């Protein structure tokens, strides 16, 4: 009998086969999951235990790293899979779910259940209440909730109220897979474990910071969902603001879940609120149009021909504290960009006196530090060095480190890391309720303004480009510019202009 039962709501969906099952298998492969577990899929699609195992066995192969494709191990893992056909939106079906869980766990698993909500957000407020109705909210249970957690501040407050009435805060794991990436975590080590950079990590030495998370795909089959959400809710309010917090947070006195998450909330509370007067200067919205042999957003399946939903957003944020006063944070996300990349770029200030002059078109440039989360996780530092030969011609060169070159140590999967943390009862890298509310308090006025003012600017940009030109204009007041990686990234990840 299982000592741990992992229940996945939405087990026949895309996220489960692409991310969750490969992540759970990798934990099994690396012996982070012992043999005393069961994975129970719960969804409306009709499967038996055996047919579900066949489905996962077939689909999971497409998303597994080749180094993990061990048929014997996969067969062992698949044997731990079970399935319950049910509609998670129907309360009367949870009694039979409890019976299935009791059968798998027997009398001695002590309610050690991990629930994963891989469902549409409309079910986030129902499933915990239905679990409570049949006594499945045990003291030993935990629940992982995918983003978006709430649609605005009001809905986030209501959702938090539901969860705190069903579970204790330490049982609730609001997941952001960006924080499961090694580079995101290593940003903390980079800052706080090295005496070289942290003394420079402030307004005296940093000019501005960029946070970019873009992809070279459209919305695919997610039109019905995406058109109700948009880029701000889908990416900015959760993913990008988390990365801003990692870059801006103060060092905690000791490193544990509470102190780390306390510092995250302090960053959110320090964001300078934007007023309606600021919106046009601080925010650029865009929507991709046809270009580079790709259709426009309004031609996508399920999208109204007059849709005003943003697929691109760039913002200038300011943090009102001593460390960051006067340092703008530029963030952007978008669909149908030239490439897929997520990175934080720290622009250091120029030297106070430039003694070396431009030569042959090469001018000394301020240093940049690039912390790349994807596609190849790593760190790039730009330096100005002398070109060999006569004179003092300065050229910018890069020092690059890729994590996949770290002595053959596997990078690991972000979902695997976070699910493992949940199994081990470690909430450090998960979002706390007060952080959710603080984030929504900052972004809610923007959403309300767009709702009240449908005529607010929405700029078109051709698919395959870096977004509306207005996003470049937004940065000119600070003499800043976006760092755009080359379209075709290689393993060495050359940048077009460093």
Q: Quick check: is 353 catalytic?
A: no
Query: Hey, what are 382's tokens?
Result: 């730009």
C-alpha 386/C-alpha 384 separation (Å) is: 7
The residue among 156, 454, 481 whose CA lies nearest residue 314 is: 481
CB-based contact 52:41 (threshold 8 Å) = yes
C-alpha 172/C-alpha 422 separation (Å) is: 9
CB-based contact 403:413 (threshold 8 Å) = no
Quote helix, strand, coil % in the chain, to nearest 5: 40, 20, 40
CB-based contact 15:43 (threshold 8 Å) = no
In sequence order, what are the beta bridge partners of 84? 42
Query: Hey, what are 69's tokens?
Result: 């494709």
C-alpha 71/C-alpha 352 separation (Å) is: 61
CB-based contact 99:5 (threshold 8 Å) = no
Catalytic: which of 80, 239, 282, 347? 239
Measure the CA dihedral 264/266/267/270, to 10°. 160
CB-based contact 332:243 (threshold 8 Å) = no
C-alpha 149/C-alpha 124 separation (Å) is: 8
SS3 state at 425: coil
C-alpha 193/C-alpha 199 separation (Å) is: 12
Please count the other Cβ atoms lying within 10 Å of the Cβ belonging to residue 106. Answer: 10
CB-based contact 436:266 (threshold 8 Å) = no
Phi, psi of 497 (to 5 degrees): -140, 110
Tell me the catalytic residues: 239
């Amino acid at each position: 009998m299982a000592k741990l039962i992992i229940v996945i709501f939405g087990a026949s969906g895309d996220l489960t086969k692409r991310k969750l099952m490969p992540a759970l298998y990798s934990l099994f492969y690396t012996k982070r999951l012992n043999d005393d577990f069961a994975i129970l899929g719960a969804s409306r699609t009709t499967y038996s235990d055996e047919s579900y195992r066949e489905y996962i066995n077939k689909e999971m192969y497409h998303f597994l790293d080749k180094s993990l494709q061990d048929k014997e191990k996969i067969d062992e893992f698949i044997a731990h899979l079970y399935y319950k056909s049910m509609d998670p939106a129907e309360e009367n079906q949870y009694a039979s779910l409890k019976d299935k869980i009791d059968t798998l766990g027997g009398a001695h698993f002590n309610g050690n259940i991990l629930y994963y909500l891989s469902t549409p957000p409309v079910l986030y407020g129902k499933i915990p209440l239905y679990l409570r109705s049949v006594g499945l909210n045990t003291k030993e249970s935990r629940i992982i909730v995918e983003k978006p957690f709430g649609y605005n501040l009001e809905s986030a407050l209501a959702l938090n109220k539901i969860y705190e009435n069903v579970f204790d805060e330490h049982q609730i794991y609001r997941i952001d897979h960006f924080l499961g990436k090694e580079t995101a975590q290593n940003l903390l080590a980079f800052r706080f474990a090295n005496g070289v950079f942290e003394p420079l990590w402030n307004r005296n030495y940093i000019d501005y910071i960029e946070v970019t998370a873009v992809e070279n795909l459209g919305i695919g089959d997610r039109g019905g969902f995406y058109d109700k959400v948009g880029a701000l809710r889908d990416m900015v309010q959760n993913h990008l603001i988390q990365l801003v917090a990692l870059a801006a947070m103060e060092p905690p006195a000791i490193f544990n879940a509470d102190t780390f998450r306390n510092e995250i909330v302090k960053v959110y509370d320090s964001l300078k609120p934007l007023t309606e007067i600021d919106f046009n200067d601080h925010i650029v919205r865009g929507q991709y149009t046809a270009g580079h042999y790709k259709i426009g957003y309004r031609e996508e399946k399920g999208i109204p021909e007059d849709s005003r939903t943003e697929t691109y957003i760039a913002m200038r944020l300011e943090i009102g504290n001593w460390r960051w006063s006067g340092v703008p944070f530029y963030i952007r996300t978008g669909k149908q960009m030239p490439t897929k990349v997520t990175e934080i770029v720290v622009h250091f200030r120029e030297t106070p006196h430039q003694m070396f002059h431009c030569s042959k078109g090469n001018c000394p440039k301020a240093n940049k530090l690039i912390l790349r989360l994807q596609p190849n996780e790593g760190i790039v530092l730009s330096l100005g060095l002398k070109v060999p030969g006569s004179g003092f011609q300065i050229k910018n060169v890069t020092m690059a480190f890729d994590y996949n070159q770290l002595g053959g140590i596997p990078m690991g999967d972000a979902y695997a890391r976070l699910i493992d943390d949940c199994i081990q009862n470690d909430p450090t890298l998960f979002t706390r309720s007060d952080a959710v509310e603080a984030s929504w308090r900052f972004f809610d006025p923007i959403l309300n303004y767009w709702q009240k003012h449908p005529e607010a600017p929405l700029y078109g940009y051709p698919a395959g480009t870096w977004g509306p030109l207005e996003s470049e204009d937004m940065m000119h007041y600070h003499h800043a510019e976006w760092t755009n990686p080359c379209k075709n990234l290689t393993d060495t990840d050359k940048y077009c202009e460093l």
